[in-house]
Amino acid sequence: MTGWPGARRLLRPWWLLSHLAVAALLVATVNLGFWQFRRLEERREHNALVEERAEVPVASLEEVLVGMDPDELVYRTVEVSGVFDAEREVFVVNRTQDGLPGVHVVTLLVGESGAVAVDRGFVPRPVYLVGDPSAWVPPGGEVVVAGRVRMAGTSRGSNGDEVERVDVADLSGRWGEVLPSVYVESGVGEGASDLPFGLPAPSLGEGPHLGYAVQWFVFFIIGLIGYPLVLVRLAREDPDADD
């Protein structure tokens, strides 16, 4: 930039801070782009795991729990048998299905070999608030439920029978039963009527990560090329020309 009349002003403190800020933003955008690529890879690995475990033959939950890490069971299809206890039931709030807000109905299933929490399905919130609870009462008598194994979470609180997550530690104390660290999510509504609605299989979409990654790299390229061009234009201008 030797001989360019405006070059010296680009070395003033304010401009030096501007250069540092732009450099930091460029580093941030490229890192965010790679982070989105990592998220995409994690999502693909998750989808592959779901597909792989969905192909494993159905077995009873009691059998697969013996000698296996619960993490290795997640998304496997299992069967559990027993009798639903409608008096020991909670509702997981802030759920959505097909664009509708609602709740998941989680009921205790008591069998000869023990008890397990079963997510029986989805009830739209308007129906849950004003509907007849008998519409989603569990079937009576001995039942066999086939569903996906899901890992329990940690609830951040509850409001009566409404909870934020399926927390088996909390449910064990609430229901007075020793429960496994996983629960069963039914793909078919386990109610005496059409409610609750069966839960869909986990989504295998890749999400927006690829698009976001491309977006961050486009921002990086714009900054990498555009900022120096602006500096060159300013350096060529005579700062005293308008005086």
Three-class SS state of 136: helix
Q: Which pLDDT belongs to residue 65?
A: 84
Half-sphere exposure at residue 224, Cβ-oriented, CA atoms within 13 angstroms: 11
Return the domain boundaries, the chain.
1-59+204-243, 76-186
Task: Please give the helix or strand (H or E) that residue 86 lies within, else none.
Answer: strand 77-97
pTM of the model: 0.76
- Each of the 243 residues of the chain gets a pLDDT tens digit; together they read 556 766 677 777 777 888 899 999 999 999 999 999 999 999 999 999 899 888 888 888 888 888 778 788 889 999 999 999 999 999 999 999 989 999 999 999 998 888 999 999 999 999 998 878 888 899 889 999 999 999 888 877 778 889 999 999 999 999 999 999 899 998 766 655 578 998 888 888 888 999 999 999 999 999 999 988 888 887 777 566 554
126 burial (CB, 10 Å; 0-12 / 13-18 / 19+) is exposed
Q: Which pLDDT belongs to residue 238?
A: 59
Per-residue pLDDT reduced to its tens digit, 153-202:
887 777 888 999 999 999 999 999 999 989 999 876 665 557 899 888 88
Q: Which pLDDT belongs to residue 2?
A: 55
d(CA 179, CA 143) in angstroms, rounded, equals 18
**Which stretches of the chain are DSSP H helices?**
13-54, 61-65, 125-130, 168-175, 209-236
d(CA 140, CA 227) in angstroms, rounded, equals 71
Q: What is the DSSP annotation of 167-202?
A: -HHHHHHHHT----SEEEEESS--SSSSPSBPPPPP
One-letter amino acid identity for 214?
V
Q: Which pLDDT belongs to residue 235?
A: 75
